[in-house]
Amino acid sequence: MATTIQPPDTESTELPIDDGKSGGGIGNSNPAGEPTRALDDRPSAPSRTGIWVGLAAITMSFAAFTSALVVRQSTGADWRHLRIPPLVFFNTVVLLASSVTLERARRRVADFFRSKSGQRSVPLFWLGATLLLGLVFVGGQYAAWLQLRAQGLYLATNPNSSFFYVLTAVHALHVLGGLAGLTRVLLRLSRPAVVLRRSTLDATSYYWHFMGVLWLYVLLVVWIKL
């Protein structure tokens, strides 16, 4: 916006702003008397808020799937126990490991920005590792579906296989979304002039860690119920 080239506002110095309690938006809370321009120079926070809101919606969707599963289990006489392909547990470890590498990447990004001489290749390495582990997870899930198929269990074979495919596929789709976000961060960071907002990195990593937590939940449901 054009404020960056405008002189700071001065109108607010004479009268008390009567700020009430919170003094404006969560991201814009600004001590009284400070020129509004200072607001613009802050990294914007909406992506951080937005990601929490998005995660709430995803949680709600999986709650709906879970309740559908519970209702479906109680109505039909065709509930057959499903042997979860062991590969899924390996995938779990991979996904959890990717959260660890992402946290390391975040620390290194912080180091890189703090000292101008910091090595860019270090955070890039850890981000790349996260991306790779994420891809291995999705590939592993695909392999698990192939194993189920080899047992003769297709999407429509019985309710248990239906729910297994639906839950894991919807989760995998969300993981792919996270991978797209990670790729975006990676590309931003590898440009000559780095244009990366902290909130973007934060939002991406919250999302990614949430994918791990969500997967543990899905695994638990699948394990207990299917």
Partner 1 sequence: MSDGTAQAVQHHTAPTGFIRKHVFSLDHKVIGLQYYGLALVAVFIGMVLSWLMRIHLVWPSWPIPGLSLLSKAGAPGGVMTPEYYLSLLTMHGTLMVFFVLTNAPFAAFGNYFLPIQIGAEDMAFPRFNMVSFWTTFLAFCILISAFFVSDGPPISGWTAYATLSAVGSDSGPGEGLGQTLWALSIFVFCIASLLGSLNFIATTLDLRTRGMTLSRMPISTWAWFITSCISLLAFAVLLPACLLLILDRVAGTSFFIPAGLVVSDHLQPHSGGSPLLWQHLFWFFGHPEVYIAILPAMGIVSHILINSMRRPLLSHKVIIYCMMGIGFLSYMVWGHHMFVSGMNPFSSLVFSFPTLVITIPATMMTLIWMGSLYGSRLRITAASLFALGFLSMFVSGGVSGFFLAQPSIDIYLHATYFVVGHFHMVMGVAAIFGVFAGTYFWFPKMTGHMMNESLGKLHFWLTFIGTYCIFMPFHYLGLAGNVRRYSAFVDDFLVPLIPVHRFVTYAALFTGAAQLIFLGNLVYSRFRGPAAPANPWEGTSLEWTMPSPPPFDNFGGKHPVVYHDPYQYGVKSSTGDYLMQDSPEQA
Q: Which residues bind partner 1 (CB under 8 A)?
A: 1-4, 6, 9, 11-12, 14-15, 17-28, 30, 36, 39-47, 49-50, 53-54, 56-58, 60-61, 63-65, 67-68, 71-72, 75-79, 155-156, 159, 162, 166, 170, 195-197
The candidate with the shortest Cα–Cα distance to 207, out of 112, 99, 120, 90, is 99
Residues 6 or more apart in contact with residue 222 via CB below 8 angstroms: 82, 84, 88, 163, 164, 167, 168
Q: Are 101 and 122 within 8 A, CB to CB?
A: no
Write down the least CB distance from residue 156 to partner 1, Å. 4
Q: Are 159 and 79 within 8 A, CB to CB?
A: yes
Nearer to partner 1, 94 or 164 (CB): 164
The single-letter code of the amino acid at 11 is E
Nearer to partner 1, 68 or 93 (CB): 68
Write down the least CB distance from residue 224 to partner 1, Å. 19
Nearer to partner 1, 19 or 111 (CB): 19
Helix (H) or strand (E) holding 58: helix 46-75
Nearer to partner 1, 196 or 218 (CB): 196
